[in-house]
Amino acid sequence: MDYRRLGRTDLNVSSLCLGTMTYGEQNTEAEGHAQMDLALDRGVNLFDAAELYPIPPNRDTQGRTERIIGTWFKARGQRDKVIMATKVVGRTDMDWFRENGAHARLTREQIEFAVDRSLKNLKTDYIDLYQLHWPDRNVSGFGTNPTRWTDVEPAADENSIESTLDVLGDLVKAGKIRHIGVSNESAWGTMTYVKAAERHGLPRIASIQNAYSLVNRTFETALAEVSLREDVSMLAYSALAQGYLTGKYRDGALPHGSRKTLFDRLQRYEKAGAEEAINEYVDLARDNDLDPSQMALAFAQSRSFMTSVILGATKMEQLENDLDAATLTLSDEVLAKIDDIHQRRGNPCP
């Protein structure tokens, strides 16, 4: 396992990160514990969660993922060996994240409430990396890095980036969180966080967690330069395009127990041109005697701007297979062919 510095912090994180958003829905507590045991044994020291998890968002399951991680910490006594990352939801009209039924916003009161609840759920005194799951402002589209711009009206009650940093700064001073990050953020948003921190002496964001995969390389357009020059570590999610790049959904297949079969909410990876691009990448892997999942993960790991690639699995054999990508180096020939497909197919799944 490779270890890379997280932003400008003193933390070195594994190049593969354990994603946990299936715990409490597709995975039981026992299965989640087994996955964390395996990941830690294989050298993974970064675990990623969110107050929203498990997926899909649901008022009856919200918080289960953090609670499962918390029981693992309590049972194993391994808190000091894990860099724990979690997230607070951004602007949403979902009304089950706060006790009073308020729509979630990045206000001081709501952020403080969310941090305290996550600490309780995780059975820990501190969170290593606390991330804003998505912005408080209205954006052009989820992920805020679209291939086509859509105009949006600013929210009348938008909370400024400076005010958000001010709250997070107080939480750092209180010792409840160590470092902060953003997620599903744009180049403008990322730079605004960086410059606001510099101007006002507030905590600097250490990371950005955005989607990145063979079928969504939009991060390279503007954010890669920001990441490299400003030392804002990229933590990539959906490197397997929510399973599509494994080939398991090919030709309309619906594997039993898969996210598509259970929830039918993978439309981000079903847009025009997606199927053709995905099939080409899967074929490329197989033509070169590579596992499609491992090729996709190894490609993401190989990017100069990449700090850690988040992977999640519902079955232990999937996790074991994906963890093997840590030691896979793609040949120049395969990398060139990947770029050739991208040149022709672009980013069908932003």
Quick one: tokens of 113?
């409430």
**Cβ-proximal residues to 62 (8 Å cutoff; 6+ apart), any chain:** 51, 52, 53, 96, 97
Beta bridge partners of 236: 210, 309
Give catalytic residues, as residue numbers: 53
Residue 278 belongs to a domain: no
Residue 283 belongs to a domain: no
* Amino acid (one-letter) located at 251: D
Q: What is the pLDDT of residue 126?
A: 98
Omega prior to 154 cis, within 30 of 0:
no
Residue 258 belongs to a domain: no
CA dihedral of 212, 215, 220, 221, whole degrees rounded to 10: -130
Q: With both helix axes pointing from N to C terminus, report the angle between 292-301 and 332-345 in degrees, rounded to the nearest 10.
A: 90
Residue 288 belongs to a domain: no
Residue 11, CA distances (Å) to 7, 114, 129, 203 in order:
8, 24, 10, 15
Query: Pairing between strand 16-19 and 306-311?
Result: parallel
State the CATH number of the domain containing residue 23. Answer: 3.20.20.100
Q: What is the pLDDT of residue 265?
A: 82
Residue 211 belongs to a domain: yes
- 37 CA to centre of own chain: 20
Using alpha carbons only, give the angle 38, 208, 266 rounded to the nearest 5 degrees. Answer: 70
Q: What is the pLDDT of residue 264?
A: 86
Residue 73 belongs to a domain: yes
Three-state DSSP class for 276? helix
Domain that includes residue 75, residue range: 3-244+298-330
Residue 126 belongs to a domain: yes
| Structural domains of the chain, count | 1
Over its length of 350 residues, how does the chain's per-residue pLDDT go in tens digits?
999 999 999 999 999 999 999 999 999 999 999 999 999 999 999 999 999 999 999 999 999 999 999 999 999 999 999 999 999 999 999 999 998 899 999 999 999 999 999 999 999 999 999 999 999 999 998 888 888 899 999 999 999 999 999 999 999 999 999 999 999 999 999 999 999 999 999 999 999 999 999 999 999 999 999 999 999 999 999 999 999 999 999 989 989 889 899 998 888 899 999 999 999 999 999 999 999 999 999 999 999 999 999 999 999 999 999 999 999 999 999 999 999 999 999 999 99
Closest CA to 205 of 163, 173, 165: 165
Query: pTM for this structure?
Result: 0.97
Residue 249 belongs to a domain: no
Q: Distance between CA 235 and CA 274 in Å, rounded? A: 23
Q: Distance between CA 191 and CA 220 in Å, rounded? A: 15
